[in-house]
Chain A
Amino acid sequence: MSSAHATSTYVPKSRLAKWFESRLPLVGLVHSSFVAFPVPRNLNYFWTFGAILIAFLGIQIITGVWLAMHYDPSAGNAFESVEHIMRDVNYGWLLRYAHANGASMFFVAVYVHIFRNLYYGSYKAPREVLYLLGVIIYLLMMATAFLGYTLPWGQMSFWGATVITNILAAIPVVGDTIQSLLWGGYSVGNPTINRFFSLHFLLPWMIAGVVVLHVWALHVTGQNNPAGIPIKSSKDAVPFTPYATIKDVFAVVVFFILFAWFIFYQPNYLGHADNYVPANPSVTPAHIVPEWYFLPFYAILRAVPDKLGGVVLMFGAVLILAFAPWLDTSRVRSCNYRPVYRVFFWVFLINAILLGWLGAKPPEGGYVLASRLCTVYYFAHFLIIMPLVGLFETPDRLPGSILETVTGPGKQVSGAGLPAGAAAEPEKRG
């Protein structure tokens, strides 16, 4: 946190604090990262989703650890132990519904976070590493969510596990070995649920580790902002505490209202009825679909008539995100100043939602055709539109400073944002 550290204004007061700080500058680190850290003053509410995501990582870990105290990860008992939690454990229903719906809320928040990043061009230089860490977190989240969904051992759990492990078998040469190592047998069974539980417990801690790196990278480059221009003077920024802190807390509480709505009034809305039927290896449910947050990728998988091709495109659809910083040729970050690309952004968003809807539909007739068109457009957005629009578009003129976007040009506001010199240039390029 080198450059952020430079802005630290923390001075230990007591002798004990001085003694400790000279041996481990932890308080200074926290102070420079979460108190004195300069935040662009024009951030809107889309920038609160980072805090919301951290809140949900915490909620998932805590409810998950508590559920693990009552859950039995075996093919014979898993379904019944989940019902035991629902029926007999005090507030067990609350823990389980919070965990199940918490996963969905986590993905709601991460999708807002990702699309905010795409709209405002936050992935561009100098934030590529920050962004790549985010893509890794997203991949880990998907793996964790998939593993967790298999644990209640209902029909959707079982068949979801079967379908996904069969996807891995499409990998040439090593696919069958990987599949067999995941199964621990000749099909999805008791060894599978055992190890999926173990991995489901492990991955969130890996997510937490990458989140630390993600936040670290954020504090090196500083935050992007709706104008997409760097902080140029102390008036462009406000200190993280109390300004961003209070805004984040407010946003988290508002988001919790949505979360509570699902827990208490629609706890099964985002799940599948078939998952209340115990796993049965001889019958596949009539409509097998993944959880809503995987639907766009599932639609891409099914759009391709070839097994390996479908698998390659599905993973490609996630991995192509990692190349966005180099596919986007525009020098302007924020879509607010990109009149042409802004339209394509919204088309891309609609296309992604359409793919999600198609992923929930049976693989027949017109749906397959529509999935194919949407899949082609999805990739065309990254491979054709992103590079070309950046080359040919004439962006609007950028404002002179962040302050100008808040107050209008030439106006003054009362009270400076940061102490003079505090907003050391956290951003080198721009």
Chain B
Amino acid sequence: MRIARLAAAALVAASLGAGSALAEDGHGTNPPREKWSFAGMFGRFDQAQLQRGFQVYKEVCANCHSMRLVAFRNLAEEGGPGFTAGQVKALAETYKVKELNDSGEEVERPARPADRFPSPFPNDKAAAAANGGKAPPDFSVLAKARTYERGFPWFVLDALPFTGYSEQGVDYIHALLNGYEEAPKGFTMPDSGYYNKYYPGLVIAMPPPLSDGQITYPKNEAGQPVVPETIEQYSHDVSAFMAWAAEPHMMARKALGLRVILFLILLAGLLYYVKKQIWKKVGGEVHGLQPELHKTY
């Protein structure tokens, strides 16, 4: 018994030592945690923010990054940016898509709401060739495809109600857009690439995509800007838009979840009392491990 305890203590000590030794190994800084309207059990997308985020994507990101799983019609669907069907139709028509005509020739026609967002490059190889050998990642599910390690004990809290956290990918994207800075002294930069403190590996091929005042957001009735036109604001908006694109049914999911869980709790309560009633007939029952109940008499 004592040996077992000692062994267990040694194991814990060894692994803790290993943990602290490996904590810093030159990867990017962990992104700061931002406030998102869609986080948490009651989270909802902010329609105005998604619309602004779409504008940032359309005017800046879409020049290099595809979003090939998202269709124009999605922009008007429940739980999304809330564009009207008319707006979506007009928007789609400003794009051209290729199709085959009756004689089998490739022709262009204006896009329809049912079409997916056209990609900036005809295929991945063309995208890679135009961007220094590596294709810019597709944005469709990128907000779910990026994360960073949270470590113990945070990863436990992340799963729980009220302390739950599932926006690592969105926070990473937001941080990355704000993470460009001068390389620290002593850091040798390669011939190409930019220093970004949040990028794993620290040198990213993408030049800083955003600058203050780059995109003109719609003004309010008084002609005043509604939100500041800054990198911080742009990056927030486009990250939120990407969160929606990666999980377009998130609001429906959370709303249904609340009802399902409340129903299950109610049902469990009813079942508990039914069970108690039934077991009363034989004088009750035991719960748990209860070694103390099993002590010899």
Chain A residues engaging chain B, CB cutoff 8 angstroms: 41-46, 80, 83, 86-87, 93-94, 97, 119, 226-227, 238, 242-243, 246-247, 249-250, 253-254, 256-257, 260-261, 263-269, 273-274, 276-277, 286-287, 334-337, 340, 342-344, 347, 350-351, 354, 357-358, 361-362, 364-367, 369-370, 373-374, 377, 385, 396-399, 404-409, 413-417
Contacts and interface: CB of A to CB of B under 8 A. Distances in A.
A353 to B, nearest CB: 11
A44 B8 contact: no
Contact of B11 (A253, A261, A276, A370): A370
What are the 3 closest A-B residue pairs judged by CB atoms, nearest first? A366-B18, A264-B257, A413-B283
Given A336-B294, A377-B7, A367 B15 contact: yes
19 contacts: A42-B285, A44-B287, A87-B69, A87-B248, A119-B289, A249-B271, A250-B275, A261-B161, A261-B257, A264-B256, A273-B169, A277-B145, A336-B290, A340-B1, A354-B11, A367-B18, A373-B10, A374-B11, A398-B296
B275 A247 contact: yes
B166 interface: yes
A323 B90 CA distance: 70
A43 B288 CA distance: 9
Contacts of A269: 158-159, 166
B18 A343 contact: no
Main secondary structure, interface of A, reads helix
Of B15, B140, B200, most buried by chain A (CB within 10 Å of CB) is B15
A264 B253 contact: yes
Given A276-B145, A366-B21, A256 B264 contact: yes
Interface in B138-185: 140-142, 144-147, 149, 152, 158-159, 161, 164, 166, 168-169
A41 B268 CA distance: 22
A260 B286 CA distance: 27
A249 B274 CA distance: 11
B297 A264 contact: no
Interface in B247-285: 248-249, 252-254, 256-258, 260-261, 264-265, 267-268, 271-272, 274-275, 278-279, 281-285
Given A260-B257, A350-B8, A238 B282 contact: yes
Nearest to A369: B14
Contacts of A408: 297
B22 A257 contact: no
B141 A246 contact: no
Contacts of B161: 261, 265
Interface in B107-140: 137, 140
Contacts of B147: 273
B164 A266 contact: yes
Nearest to A274: B145
B4 interface: yes
B74 interface: yes
A360 to B, nearest CB: 9
Contacts of A267: 253
Contact of A83 (B11, B137, B141, B293): B141
Contacts of B258: 264
Contacts of A260: 257, 260-261, 264
Interface string B15-55: 10111011000000000000000000100000000000000
B291 interface: yes
A81 to B, nearest CB: 11
A417 B144 contact: no
Contact of A253 (B12, B246, B267, B278): B267
Contacts of A93: 249, 252-253
A408 B246 CA distance: 59
A324 B7 CA distance: 22
A335 B285 CA distance: 20
Contacts of A254: 268
Contacts of B146: 273
B295 interface: yes
Contacts of B169: 273
A365 B8 contact: no
Contacts of B41: 265
Given A286-B200, A361-B18, 17 more contacts: A87-B248, A93-B253, A226-B294, A246-B271, A249-B271, A254-B268, A257-B268, A260-B261, A273-B169, A276-B141, A342-B291, A354-B11, A367-B22, A369-B18, A373-B7, A399-B297, A406-B286
A266 B275 contact: no
A337 B294 contact: yes
A414 B149 CA distance: 57
A300 to B, nearest CB: 14
B69 A83 contact: yes
Contacts of B21: 365-366
Given A44-B290, A336-B294, A268 B164 contact: no
Contacts of B288: 44-45
Contact of A405 (B149, B268, B294): B294
B14 A257 contact: no
A366 B164 contact: no
Contacts of A238: 282
Contacts of A86: 249
A30 to B, nearest CB: 20
Contacts of B267: 253
A373 B18 CA distance: 13
A408 B19 CA distance: 49
A94 B256 contact: yes
Contacts of B274: 246, 250
B145 A373 contact: no
